[in-house]
Amino acid sequence: MTIVDHFMQPEVRPFAVAAVMIVLVGGIEVGSMLLGLSISELFGHAIDLGHDGDNTGIGQVLSWINVGGVPLMICILLGLGIFSIAGFLVQDAARLVAVALPPSAAGALAAVITVPLLRSATRYAARLVPQDESYAVGLSDLVGRTGEVAVGPLDGGLPGRVRVKDVHGNWHTVTASAAPDSPPLPVGAPVLLVDRKDGRFIAIAAADDLTSSKTP
């Protein structure tokens, strides 16, 4: 049996489709960027607007797997890749033991394997992929969190960037400005995000007791 024949077997069809989707989704994103429009960015804003402040359901799931810590399109491509590889490996292992599993059973098992691996992969990718903004699910949940000025200073001029962890320990880089009555906050300064207005966070200097016991 050739590689192509193996790829087209009914029991691995869901994982073959996922592999093809990687090419299609990646191609769509590249094509949209050549036209000056990022599909990933549009979807990221849509998720932010649709689930901002959502503490339950899909918002928590997406936040847990770090949608927002890395661009949405990277999360999708990583998820498809892990699901496809896991599915092929599951079926290969099943054949070695007995016979291939039904596609539905193999797909469910591959999905269970994919979720924790996707979380680990996105957290690692967040350290490697530069981004100017974080399109996270439930960004309002970051209000009250302490972070550090990454691009600044934060003052009365242009907004800067703050790196902050969410409740799951995922890093986000968000747009922020200093509060009107706050002194300038230099790069590296610990800050507390106290509000969010017009798509940017409002920051003040973090008290010593907050920075000495940072939340995870």
Q: Can you give the three-state secondary structure of 177-215, one letter per residue? A: EECCCCCCECCCCEEEEEEEECCEEEEEECCHHHHCCCC
- 29 token code pair: 């994103």
pLDDT at 133: 47
Cβ atoms 39, 73 nearer than 8 A: yes
For the entire predicted model, the pTM comes to 0.55
pLDDT at 148: 92
Cα separation of 172 and 165, whole Å?
Answer: 6
Cα separation of 11 and 138, whole Å?
Answer: 38
Q: Where are the domains of the chain?
A: 3-128, 143-211
pLDDT at 147: 92
pLDDT band at 149 (very low <50, low <70, confident <90, very high): very high
Whether residue 38 is predicted with pLDDT greater than 50 in this model: the reply is yes
Q: In a 10 Å sphere around its CB, with 0-12 CB exposed, 13-18 middle and 19+ buried, how is residue 45 labelled?
A: middle
Q: 143-211 has which CATH code? A: 2.40.50.140
Burial call 86-117: b when 16+ CB within 10 Å, e when fewer: bbbebbeebeeeeebbebeebbebbeebbeeb
Q: Reduced to 3 states, what is the DSSP secondary structure of residue 25?
A: helix
Tell which residue, 170, 176, 210, 181, has the closest CA to residue 196: 176
pLDDT at 182: 86
Q: Reduced to 3 states, what is the DSSP secondary structure of residue 168?
A: coil
Per residue in 12-37, pLDDT (tens digit) is 889 999 999 998 888 877 776 565 45
Per residue in 178-204, pLDDT (tens digit) is 998 888 999 999 999 999 887 789 999
Task: Tell me how far apart the terminal alpha carbons of the chain are, to the nearest angstrom.
Answer: 51
Per residue in 45-85, pLDDT (tens digit) is 555 544 444 444 555 666 666 665 677 778 888 999 999 99
pLDDT at 66: 66
Higher pLDDT, 3 or 122: 122
140-150: average pLDDT: 88
Per residue in 97-117, pLDDT (tens digit) is 988 899 999 999 999 999 889
154-176: average pLDDT: 82
Higher pLDDT, 161 or 133: 161
